[in-house]
Amino acid sequence: MLKDADQGFVDHLRGMLPERALRAPEPRHLEEPRGRWSGQAAVVVAPGSVEEVSAVLRVCNDARVGVVPYGGGTGLVGGQVAGEGPVPVLLSLERMAAVRATYPQENVIEVEAGAILQDVHDAAEAVERLYPLSIASKGSARIGGLLATNAGGVNVLRYGNARDLCLGLEVVLADGRVWNGLSRLRKDNTGYDLRNLMIGSEGTLGVITAASLKLAPRPAGEGTALMVVDSPADALALLALARDRMGEGVSAFELMHRMGLDFLADKLPDIRLPFETAPEWFVLIDVGLAAGLDPAGALEALFAESFEAGLVSDGIIAQNEAQRHAFWEVREQIPEANRRVGSVSSHDISLPMGAVADFIDRAGPALARLGEFRINCFGHLGDGNLHYNVFPPAGRDKTEFHNLRDGIKTCVHDLVHDMGGSVSAEHGIGRLKVGDLERYGDPVKLATMRAIKDVLDPNGILNPGAVLRHI
Amino acid sequence: MLKDADQGFVDHLRGMLPERALRAPEPRHLEEPRGRWSGQAAVVVAPGSVEEVSAVLRVCNDARVGVVPYGGGTGLVGGQVAGEGPVPVLLSLERMAAVRATYPQENVIEVEAGAILQDVHDAAEAVERLYPLSIASKGSARIGGLLATNAGGVNVLRYGNARDLCLGLEVVLADGRVWNGLSRLRKDNTGYDLRNLMIGSEGTLGVITAASLKLAPRPAGEGTALMVVDSPADALALLALARDRMGEGVSAFELMHRMGLDFLADKLPDIRLPFETAPEWFVLIDVGLAAGLDPAGALEALFAESFEAGLVSDGIIAQNEAQRHAFWEVREQIPEANRRVGSVSSHDISLPMGAVADFIDRAGPALARLGEFRINCFGHLGDGNLHYNVFPPAGRDKTEFHNLRDGIKTCVHDLVHDMGGSVSAEHGIGRLKVGDLERYGDPVKLATMRAIKDVLDPNGILNPGAVLRHI
């Protein structure tokens, strides 16, 4: 049974650590990003070294005090905000933010867990390399949190998610022991894969303190196009054609719906919209090609071939960096427009690629039986990952529909589950989806997860209540 | 404590399963591939379904009888051959060998664990796709074993190893429970990563019965070149240049040494050697490029640029498929030539890429202090993975040097470990390297592995003595 981090315990921590390592929680530490609950923490502890992280965990484990690891605070499922149970300590990695070393010839970078994603991008660029993981919150998200949640983003199609881009980890276990797995090796078959067990465990099995990450060569030339398709099914056929022609050169393939453009026009009128008449469905294709290929030319050839095949009806190919940026701006500002409209219920789902179009065909009518809504469905089609967000009718407010929220969520998630999909594609479980995991997860998997949790963290101090219900 | 699979137990199994599911072990089931020990098994059980696998494991677990999972029997570290302890059952997946379905638009294939690698290649090719995992034993290696050992091979540089190419698994746990994780999803952040925990656990945590695997589009055009370099350091610089120019288009980058050509000339004189005068070091570069690029032309441009930079002194670019095949034949027959020469000690090691050249510089002199040997060092340079094999001087036989074998191994492995490398890059631990894992492994990792093993397989029935010492 966990105990509160009471004044005596906080004083004990204070005696162990430098003064600057402890401070009172700020509002940002206690905010659940979608406002469903508020968090609690007795103190924010920001260690400056793996030894200090180890010391903190050791005393917390001995005292049965919960520890909530905290990166950039940008997670969308409440994994970083404990709202109930005994008062925990919040362990922030913000003071371990160094980029320790880059190895351009190896395509490797070694960073501390508190390094901010944008800083990692910059360090890679300084040696003419690319760290491909990219998400909207890159200016504040930290590597430790990105790994703990196995973050995704727009370049997963080509480069994989946070898991695929990690070579090694340093992790402090619940009892303070340090696993030094900070390898730069591309191949290492010596025992069980603890790295991937830690990645995606959302701070419930250990605290990541450092990581070695894969870099990629920068493509010789890049290009972006918007293409209008009749349906998500045609978008998938277009993607297959693009990959047949350009292989790994297809870096991103994002599906968008007219609703996104309507929301942008309404809420962010300064964003320049690319089409005279908004199409029902369209895709953003981003390519990064090898030397000797002209990206705009390759996109034109793709357009011509897919137009001929009846897959696309219109398209615009960016002629310069400014236009590329403008196309991406449309995609990247849709979430902000969504936020301003205010969704009744938002879903981060994935499906087998072949089931995506069918899901979209079925989900709309299923929701229509619950009421009249606007749906903005968009996302990383190349990964089968949709952000399927449900909004009130025009002129109405989300608060009027709070009583329908759970029903909408269940409707969407049941359908996703029936079609072999996942109810958390890239955001994780956190505290928000613990019930969903119990409802939809394979029972043998759940039992195995519980067994692993109990043996690696027998007192249950690590991020209590996240991923698995605290018992 | 495990018990022998005695006659009564075998009779019990016989009563549960169809007649064809049980038979006596053949010699191939009991051979340790390098002849260090001979195996034992009371019976070979070949279930025809996941339900039968589940039933077998349940009764073995209840009776405390060890189970050795068996795929194609091609492993090089004895993971499939139990030589000591109570007599186990050998569980062969050979009757679960179906390719269940291909999803070309999704780039996914679903197979049973007993599917032979070549059959998976053929099924992918039939839908104009590529399953990129490729190793010399592809005609007999089975998917379950390839996943259990996280197999590597020649295309890891571009496509990753068996782990990177797997989307989902069906696994039977020690007590017979079945985890259905046979997902085709590209993104799924719902809980701990059991898939990667099972992959590479060498049958000690569960028995893989089916898998969904990633396919890749086939490159539009392929090409191969041999290029002569002064040193491994120059080879690494050449690789970096090739990837800067061709990105992911570089499919394989294999380092070879003159010793390999000498051995081929001596033992396999029918193989046509590519150079008039054998160079000290050379590389095989294989590229698969997008539409619009000429592979031979791109390789010529790479040669010209690297010649200008002083990285290469000679090169041959394959002008047709027959020549490509001939170049690959040189690389692929070196292991067979090695086998015929007879090594004193062979090592499957990996190093941080930046340490490879330094390792080669240091290992030769270190071994020379132990005696006069011939060294054939070759391998997957793009992965930092060397096969570093030590042979007797010309005219002498390996048996004369048996007393030096452990000393050589320790010399090589100590140096690898000191330089941040791995003593098993792609072959795994099996039974051969259990001591190495104990000697070189991180102690916190080892303790964590042991804890996970004990909780997932409390009776220790799964592949006893592999990876972790049986206690």
Domain layout of chain A by residue ranges:
99-217, 221-418
Judge whether A438 and A426 are in contact, CB under 8 Å. Answer: no
How far apart are the C-alpha atoms of A381 and A252, rounded to whole Å?
Answer: 9
Mean pLDDT of B442-462: 98
The DSSP code for B133 is -
Q: Which of B189, B292, B445 sits opposite A298 (nearest CB)?
A: B292
Backbone CA torsion sign across B140, B144, B145, B147: positive
Query: CA of A26, closest CA in chain B: separation in Å?
Result: 29
- For B77-87, write each residue's pLDDT tens digit: 999 999 889 99
Tell me how many degrees the CA angle A370-A372-A377 measures, rounded to the nearest 5.
Answer: 95
Mean pLDDT of B409-426: 97
Q: What is the largest CA-CA distance in chain A?
A: 74
Same fold, B99-217 and B221-418: no
| Cross-chain residue pair A189–B446, CB shorter than 8 Å | no
| Cross-chain residue pair B187–A220, CB shorter than 8 Å | no
Cβ neighbors of A122 (< 8 A, separation 6 or more) are none
What's CA A426's distance to the chain center, in Å?
Answer: 5
What's CA B223's distance to the chain center, in Å?
Answer: 24
How far apart are the C-alpha atoms of B127 and B148, rounded to whole Å?
Answer: 26
Q: Which of A180, A192, A200 sits opposite B452 (nearest CB)?
A: A192
Judge whether B424 and B412 are in contact, CB under 8 Å. Answer: no
Residue A208: per-residue pLDDT: 98
A197: tokens are 């067990």
How far apart are the C-alpha atoms of A467 and B276, rounded to whole Å?
Answer: 63
How far apart are the C-alpha atoms of A456 and B448, rounded to whole Å?
Answer: 8
Cβ neighbors of B144 (< 8 A, separation 6 or more) are B69, B71, B93, B113, B114, B207, B208, B209, B211
ipTM strictly over 0.95? yes
- Grouping H, G, I as helix, E, B as strand and the rest as coil, residue B179 is strand
Judge whether A181 and A169 are in contact, CB under 8 Å. Answer: yes
How far apart are the C-alpha atoms of B463 and B145, rounded to whole Å?
Answer: 13
Whole-angstrom CA distances from B327 to B161, B224, B242, B264, B313 are 23, 8, 18, 13, 18
Q: Which residues of A touch B287 (CB under 8 A)?
A: none
Q: Which residues of A touch B385 (CB under 8 A)?
A: 186-187
| Cross-chain residue pair B429–A189, CB shorter than 8 Å | yes
Residue B453: per-residue pLDDT: 98
How far apart are the C-alpha atoms of A135 and A379, rounded to whole Å?
Answer: 12
Residue A391: per-residue pLDDT: 98
Q: What residue of A is the nearest CA neighbor of B237?
A: A105
Neighbouring C-alpha atoms within 13 Å toward the C-beta of B100? 17
How many C-beta atoms lie closer than 10 Å to residue B335's C-beta? 17
Q: What is the count of residue pairs from A and B with beta carbons less than 8 Å apart?
A: 309
Cβ neighbors of A142 (< 8 A, separation 6 or more) are A71, A72, A93, A94, A97, A113, A114, A115, A116, A117
Residue B32: per-residue pLDDT: 80
Total residues belonging to chain A: 471
Judge whether A175 and A190 are in contact, CB under 8 Å. Answer: no
Average pLDDT score, chain B: 96
- The H or E element that residue B287 is part of is strand B281-289
Residue B35: per-residue pLDDT: 75
Tell which A residues from 216 to 275 touch B, by Cβ distance under 8 Å: 216-220, 236-237, 240, 243-249
Judge whether B169 and B210 are in contact, CB under 8 Å. Answer: yes
| Cross-chain residue pair B196–A191, CB shorter than 8 Å | no
Q: Which of B184, B217, B301 sits opposite A420 (nearest CB)?
A: B184
Q: Which residues of A touch B179 (CB under 8 A)?
A: 442, 444-445, 448
Backbone CA torsion sign across A457, A463, A465, A466: negative
Query: CA of B398, closest CA in chain A: separation in Å?
Result: 27
Q: What residue of A is the nearest CA neighbor of B383?
A: A186
Q: Which residues pair with B129 in a beta bridge?
A: B217
Residue A35: per-residue pLDDT: 75
Structural domain A99-217, CATH architecture: 2-Layer Sandwich (3.30)
| Cross-chain residue pair B293–A298, CB shorter than 8 Å | no
Q: Which of A185, A420, A446 sits opposite B421 (nearest CB)?
A: A185
Total residues belonging to chain B: 471
Judge whether A466 and A202 are in contact, CB under 8 Å. Answer: yes
A349: tokens are 């789902």
Residue B33: per-residue pLDDT: 73
Query: CA of A128, closest CA in chain B: separation in Å?
Result: 10
Closest among B369, B377, B325 to B346, alpha carbons compared = B377
Structural domain B221-418, CATH architecture: 2-Layer Sandwich (3.30)
Q: Which of B246, B428, B448 sits opposite A456 (nearest CB)?
A: B448
Cβ neighbors of A133 (< 8 A, separation 6 or more) are A117, A146, A151, A153, A155, A159, A161, A162, A165
Closest among B349, B399, B347, B392 to B371, alpha carbons compared = B392
- The H or E element that residue B409 is part of is helix B405-418
Whole-angstrom CA distances from A81 to A72, A270, A409, A430 are 12, 34, 22, 9
Mean pLDDT of B302-309: 98
How far apart are the C-alpha atoms of A136 and A254, rounded to whole Å?
Answer: 14
How many C-beta atoms lie closer than 10 Å to residue B402's C-beta? 10
Tell whether the model's pLDDT for residue B459 goes beyond 90: yes
The DSSP code for A85 is S
How far apart are the C-alpha atoms of B147 and B3, rounded to whole Å?
Answer: 28
Q: Which residues of B touch A379 (CB under 8 A)?
A: none
- Interchain CB contact of B163 with A (< 8 Å): yes
Neighbouring C-alpha atoms within 13 Å toward the C-beta of A234? 20
Judge whether A237 and A312 are in contact, CB under 8 Å. Answer: no
Query: CA of B418, closest CA in chain A: separation in Å?
Result: 13
- Grouping H, G, I as helix, E, B as strand and the rest as coil, residue A332 is helix
Which of A189, A293, A442 is the best mutation test for B, with the most CBs of B within 10 A? A189
How far apart are the C-alpha atoms of B69 and B457, rounded to whole Å?
Answer: 14
* Percent residues over pLDDT 90 in chain B: 95
Among the ranges given (B28-42, B155-169, B173-187, B431-445), the one the predictor scored with the smallest mean pLDDT: B28-42
Higher pLDDT: A290 or B364? It is B364
Judge whether A88 and A47 are in contact, CB under 8 Å. Answer: no
How far apart are the C-alpha atoms of B54 and B56, rounded to whole Å?
Answer: 5
How far apart are the C-alpha atoms of B452 and A232, rounded to whole Å?
Answer: 43
Mean pLDDT of B437-449: 98
Tell which A residues from 59 to 118 touch B, by Cβ distance under 8 Å: 103-108
Burial letters B108-142, b for 16+ CB under 10 A, else e: bbbbbbbbbbebbbebbeeeebbbbbbbebbeebb
- For B252-281, write each residue's pLDDT tens digit: 999 999 999 999 999 999 999 999 999 999
Q: What residue of B is the nearest CA neighbor of A205?
A: B192
Task: Kindly list the averaged pLDDT for each block of 10 residues, start to end, along chain A of length 471.
Answer: 97 96 94 82 98 98 98 94 94 98 95 98 97 94 98 94 98 98 96 98 98 95 97 96 92 97 97 94 96 93 97 97 96 94 96 96 97 96 96 95 96 98 96 96 98 98 96 73
Tell which B residues from 288 to 327 touch A, by Cβ distance under 8 Å: 288-293, 298, 301
| Cross-chain residue pair B445–A191, CB shorter than 8 Å | yes
Task: Tell me the H-state helices in A309-462.
Answer: 321-341, 356-368, 405-418, 434-440, 443-456
- The H or E element that residue B56 is part of is helix B50-63
- Interchain CB contact of A35 with B (< 8 Å): no
